[in-house]
Structure 1
């Protein structure tokens, strides 16, 4: 999930926009000057409405708990190092009528575990150019499979150019050796301060769950901001230990409201809408069912220290 806001401190923003899995408001001290918090932990809850699957009477309702821990450590004026650990507990609540091509796989499949870890290295060449490379490792598997067979790895690389007014624009690519599939995903990296109130940026981190997406945010006050945006989202996981996999691929649009409760704590609420969704079963042939559009609600809490 995201915790997006206007960036106050530009030098910190260059590091943050490339290392962080979220976009956020830097902490502000009592003197009004921006401060930097190298560590953060966050927890998010996502619930979707019930959605029809395929042409039968099968329906699916999803709920997720997401936990993340991040560290961002400047090494010197040019180099920065980042670390990320994540866990996702994804629950699938099925209702079925016996006609779907997926029914033989749905029995017993109710929960998906997703563990992730990553390292990122950023290099600031000069006042204009900055580059980042971030290797990633993930384990994603249903409760019908073993974790040892569910590993994926990849690397995300990007380059960004800082204009004279401080805005950042760049391109990136994610190479992902996912479970039984290799993907290459390009994405646009942007951190563009339009004026004192409006900013265009990336709400997500590029990786196994999709490209970075775009969000337009509005800063109402130093502690409150709003945003809306969209991105493509992907969930791929092991269903059985013989390389049987499921991939959920869909677009999500969202409205966001963020509140900086204190220098360390941020709360963010979301109203989302999933559309153009597909559920793909690979065993060994590919079978695809459509997922009807559905609404979603989410809340995220982040603590920085």
Structure 2
């Protein structure tokens, strides 16, 4: 995930571990504008493992996630910047006797390619507006793109009150396959001290808002942080599983810790540990009914990410 914060003392590129996405463009609406004609390109690669997690009705699951994200943004004028974001995400799920799903895993692997654009306009030196439309195709392997699209946009407005404080408000509107989702969120970038900072760690997008993270600079190269968010995403199931052509859904709250090391001025490694709480897995069949649904116990996940700005 990329995050460039307006009023910050440095530009930071943070991958997400949203356990299916604590990862992808955050609030460039808060970014310090580059000089006209400058293009910034960033690349992020993340691997994640959700360890074996118990289901409320019996059984368990675990899954692994691999993601790659490329963003290119150009500053066309002092006021206007625009760019494109390309992302690919792959998850591999494994199940052990899931009682609520008749002992059979409701899905196996999920693929999610995504394409987005970002537009930012500075009304004044203090105010900046953002508009980020996105479309992604999320489905179990073998589904293809038919009936898998999630599309919509995030809109934001942020005001710089001082060199250390930017606040704003945003809202996302997305059609998640067969369900429309609307959510508001706060934009926060506050350098509380030279070392302590409160900000948004995630991109607002189809799976939810930007969350909050408190970070502390241990040294010039090492940063320790912790935060949380709410995530919810839906994906189409293939025709060979227990619910042919249905829809799977995963909802949870990831609470995470982050340890980061700045390898170079534009390259960073992030190690994440997370607890997923309030989780729920469900399946909607082709008729719109929900034959299977189950909560899951607090899970533990770990992720490693490499991000680089060109």
2:264 is the counterpart of 1:262: yes
2:101 is the counterpart of 1:101: yes
- Superposition deviation, residue 236 in structure 1: 1.1
Partner of 1:248: 250
- Over the aligned positions, Cα root-mean-square deviation in angstroms equals 2.4
Distance, in Å, in 1 between the alignment partners of 2:247 and 2:82 is: 33
Q: Is the Cα contact below 8 Å between 1:179 and 1:243 reproduced in 2?
A: no
Distance, in Å, in 2 between the alignment partners of 1:22 and 1:76 is: 19
Q: Residue 276 and residue 77 in structure 1: after superposition, are their counterparts in 2 closer, same or farther (change >3 A)?
A: same
Secondary structure at the counterpart of residue 272 of structure 1: strand
* Equivalent of 1:49 in 43, 48, 51: 51
What aligned pairs does 1:124-139 form with structure 2 within 5 A after superposition?
124-139=122-137
Distance, in Å, in 1 between the alignment partners of 2:194 and 2:132 is: 31
Partner of 1:30: none
Secondary structure at the counterpart of residue 100 of structure 1: helix
- Superposition deviation, residue 129 in structure 1: 1.0
Q: Is the Cα contact below 8 Å between 2:8 and 2:163 reproduced in 1?
A: no
Distance, in Å, in 2 between the alignment partners of 1:89 and 1:169 is: 34
What aligned pairs does 1:167-206 form with structure 2 within 5 A after superposition?
167-206=165-204
Moved more, 283-292 or 62-71: 283-292
Any unmatched runs of 5+ in structure 2? 13-23, 32-37
Partner of 2:79: 78
Partner of 1:63: 64
Moved more, 158-167 or 271-280: 158-167
The count of residues paired between Structure 1 and Structure 2 equals 283
**Residues 211-267 of structure 1 deviation map (CA, whole Å, 9 limit, x = unaligned):** 100000111222221110001112210014675111100000111011110123210
Partner of 2:284: 282
Distance, in Å, in 2 between the alignment partners of 1:280 and 1:168 is: 38
- Superposition deviation, residue 2 in structure 1: 6.9
What TM-score, normalized by structure 1, do the two folds share? Answer: 0.86
Partner of 1:31: none
Partner of 2:209: 211
Q: Is the Cα contact below 8 Å between 1:3 and 1:258 reproduced in 2?
A: no
Q: Is the Cα contact below 8 Å between 1:3 and 1:268 reproduced in 2?
A: no
What TM-score, normalized by structure 2, do the two folds share? Answer: 0.84
Q: Runs of 4+ in structure 1 displaced over 6 angstroms?
A: 2-6
